[in-house]
Chains A and B, each alone.
Chain A
Amino acid sequence: EPEVTQTPSHQVTQMGQEVILRCVPISNHLYFYWYRQILGQKVEFLVSFYNNEISEKSEIFDDQFSVERPDGSNFTLKIRSTKLEDSAMYFCASTLRRTVQETQYFGPGTRLLVL
């Protein structure tokens, strides 16, 4: 069964450093999402992406964050200058279509720890 993959599974970084989280969505999917879950809190929407553009972003997704689809398979989330509060589990998701009934398929996540 096709699945969303994410690398790395764990990332430890120093505050102020840049990190890039990578995702490979399901191959024929067209819509991509990033979510995050801070320990003990809800899964929160960060950004949605389609046709090489951001469709929507949350308040969390400030200028320190950016997303990119550098080739036909990868979808990346970059945090330019990490803060302690960026420590969280980051999930990538993808869907084939953008309809209400479409299921979003999630990757296993990247656990980011900012020291």
Chain B
Amino acid sequence: DQQVKQNSPSLSVQEGRISILNCDYTNSMFDYFLWYKKYPAEGPTFLISISSIKDKNEDGRFTVFLNKSAKHLSLHIVPSQPGDSAVYFCAARGRSNDYKLSFGAGTTVTVRA
């Protein structure tokens, strides 16, 4: 299943700076996108989501941008904090696929103090 792609396996960022995580998708039937955060030995934890009718959603330090024409979304974390060090998964779903989530491979974020 290559419908959701996260091409950067890792990202290292200085504390206080912006982290930008990217995600691309191929299935035009996807209409809802989510970001999950995962710490080692824990399950994915929901972070933020965006509907396809929007192009931006903001929640505190986290903002997700959606470019439907490019089939691209990004997650911005500002400012980055050491506790943000985790694996971030982009996920997508649509009515046509029974609401199951299709995940990207994940990006490991390391925030340096």
Contact B99 A42 (CB under 8 A): no
Contact A55 B42 (CB under 8 A): no
Chain A residues lying within 8 Å of B103, measured Cβ to Cβ, are 35, 42-44
Q: Within the complex, which residue of A91, A105, A109 is in contact with B46, where a contact is CB–CB below 8 Å? A: A105
How many residues of A are counted as interface, with CB atoms below 8 angstroms from the partner's CB atoms? 30
For the A-B complex, the count of residue pairs with Cβ-Cβ distances under 8 Å equals 67
Chain B residues lying within 8 Å of A44, measured Cβ to Cβ, are 1, 103
Interface size class of B (residues with CB under 8 A): 20 to 34
Chain A residues lying within 8 Å of B31, measured Cβ to Cβ, are 100
Q: Within the complex, which residue of B42, B100, B104, B106 is in contact with A108, where a contact is CB–CB below 8 Å? A: B42
Among A92-108, those with CB < 8 Å from B are: 93, 95, 98-108
Chain A binder among B58-66, B71-79, B87-95: B87-95
Minimum Cβ distance to chain A for residue B16 (Å): 29
- A residues bordering B, Cβ < 8 Å? 4, 6, 9, 31, 33, 35, 41-45, 48, 55-56, 58, 91, 93, 95, 98-109
